[in-house]
Amino acid sequence: MASVYGIGSILTDVMRSVYQTEENQAGCPNSREHCSNSTLLSTDLLGTSSWLQLDPRLWSRLQVLEWLAYHVEKHKYDANNIDLSLCDMDGATLWGLSGNQLVVIFGPLGEELYRSLHSLNRASLDLTMGEDFNDIFLQGILGEESDEKLLDTVITWNELVNEEPTVDWKALSDFQLSDPGYESAPTSPDSIGSSNAGSLVSQAPNSPDSGGSESDTETTNAQYNSSNEEFRKISLSNCKPLKRGRGRPRKVTCEERTCLEGRKSKHSPRGTHLWEFIRDILLRPETNTGLLKWEDRSEGIFKFLKSEAVAQLWGEKKKNSSMTYEKLSRAMRYYYKREILERVDGRRLVYKFGKNSSGWKLGDLRA
DNA sequence: CCATGCTTTCCTGCTT
DNA sequence: TAAGCAGGAAAGCATG
């Protein structure tokens, strides 16, 4: 059993190995830490590391190890509790892991690692994008139960195929990076989905909620959605909603309701609002494939280019296949009163963010 | 259980 | 004529 401080030498070896690999692959890149192994190991571990200055998702494998070593040292954590074979990942992969996954891998230290990772990211993003963006990113980390199941699944699969019980980081990464709650919500086969081709989520008709109110239900979503149409057919025959004059009829049939009942979030933070959904499509070019465009970026004026497609995406997000632009626009009009949106008279499909909206201004993103 | 906020649905009338 | 807009009414649903 290695001593508490044994992690130093163990990680040193791993880091040296990674360092050599990276150096061989990319030469000796730009920074001091890549050019002086001894310097890196002696000083960077504790406090002045290159990882500290970077968004964690941009970390190299080496920087991930630096970061790990720093926390192991800092918390005098027993290195024997860590399977170093699981530490070989870059920052993007690391970022994709949920808190539970980090605990599974790193034991009690996982919690601290998770906090550290995301506080670092918050600090980094605060410099560049503003709080709203941070919230969006952080909200994507909430689907822990399903993540844990996925982790189990991946490990079990590897064991089944007689490999070392290592984690398929690529699979985990793909899942996580495409799963971050609301971040990846806008996915549909004919619009945004193409930009996410290959991800697990992009192939599913729905996507999680930014606020987490749905994010912990994703494990069951695919199951639910795959049988959704069947539920509809069955329910039409024996559980029709009662007729009424005006107002909102039941959206979910009784079977669907039964199916969904186990999916409620225990602690749903604020859900995603429509205006935030719209805003984030506008702000994220990779998901905005001709759906919306800025008419006047500085004034917050934007236009629907594919109104029905946006409505479909909103419907997907809200698990509502009957969403239309007409309904969506009604919700948009309610924002006028709350001054989240302002009217743009005489222009069809054009809206303007109001003073009670946030996160879209260029100043917000830079502040 | 209740109040509240945020939609969602339906509707009528109007405008483009 | 179709599509979109405006806004009232009523209901669903999550949350506190």
Place of tokens 């994703």: A218
Q: What is the DSSP letter of A250?
A: P
Asked if A333 CB < 7 A from strand C, the reply is: yes
Instruction: List, in sequence order, every residue forming a beta bridge with A302; answer none if it has no partner.
Output: A294, A351
pLDDT of residue A311: 87
Q: How far is CA A33 from CA A16, A30, A42, A280, in A?
A: 12, 9, 11, 36
**Residue A9 · residue A47 · CB < 8 Å:** no
* Strand C contacts in A 340-359 (CB under 7 A): 343, 345, 348-350
pLDDT of residue A74: 59
Confidence of residue A15 (pLDDT cuts 50, 70, 90): very low
CA–CA gap between residue A95 and residue A284 (Å, rounded): 19
CA distances from A155 to A149, A166, A268 (A): 10, 6, 29
A208-247 pLDDT tens trace: 333 333 333 333 333 333 333 333 333 333 333 333 455 5
Instruction: Give the pLDDT score at A313.
Output: 86
pLDDT of amino acid A179: 31
Other beta carbons within 10 Å of A5: 13
Name beta bridge partners: A139: none
Residue A255 has pLDDT above 70, yes or no: no
pTM summary value: 0.41
pLDDT at position A72, please?
65
Cα–Cα distances (Å) from A339 to A251, A283, A292, A332, A362, in that order, read: 28, 20, 20, 11, 19
- Residue A290 CA, nucleotide C7 C1', distance (Å): 29
C1’ B2 / CA A220, Å: 31
pLDDT value at A343 more than 70: yes
Q: What is the mean pLDDT of chain A?
A: 55
Classified as helix, coil or strand, A286 is coil
Nucleotides of chain C touched by protein CB (<7 A): 4-16
Q: How confident is the model at residue A288 (pLDDT cuts 50, 70, 90)?
A: confident
Of residues A76 and A102, more confidence is placed in A102
Q: How far is the CA of A52 from the C1' of B5 (A)?
A: 41
Closest-CA residue to A269 (of A216, A213, A214, A319): A213
Structure confidence by residue, pLDDT tens digits, A58-88: 777 766 776 776 666 655 566 656 666 676 7
With a cut of 60, say whether residue A189 has pLDDT above it: no
A323 touches strand B (CB under 7 A): yes
Q: How many angstroms separate the CA of A91 from the C1' of C9?
A: 52
Residue nearest to nucleotide C3 (CA to C1'): A348
Cα distance between residue A310 and residue A188, in whole Å: 10
Give mean pLDDT, residues A281-307: 86
Ranges A36-40, A248-252, A342-346: which has the least confidence: A36-40
Nucleic strand C under 7 Å from the C-beta of A271: yes
The confidence band for A362, taking pLDDT boundaries of 50, 70 and 90, is: confident
The conformation of residue A281, written as its DSSP 8-state character, comes to H
Tokens of A27: 């030469």
**pLDDT for the residue A6:** 37
The reported pLDDT for the residue numbered A308 is 86
The integer distance in angstroms from the CA atom of A149 to the C1' atom of C4 is 46
Which structural domains are found in chain A, ordered by start? Answer: 49-125 (1.10.150.50), 274-353 (1.10.10.10)
Sequence-separated (6 or more) residues with CB below 8 Å from residue A186: A192, A207, A277, A280, A281, A284, A287, A288, A291, A313, A317
Is residue A259's pLDDT more than 50? no
Q: What is the pLDDT of residue A80?
A: 58
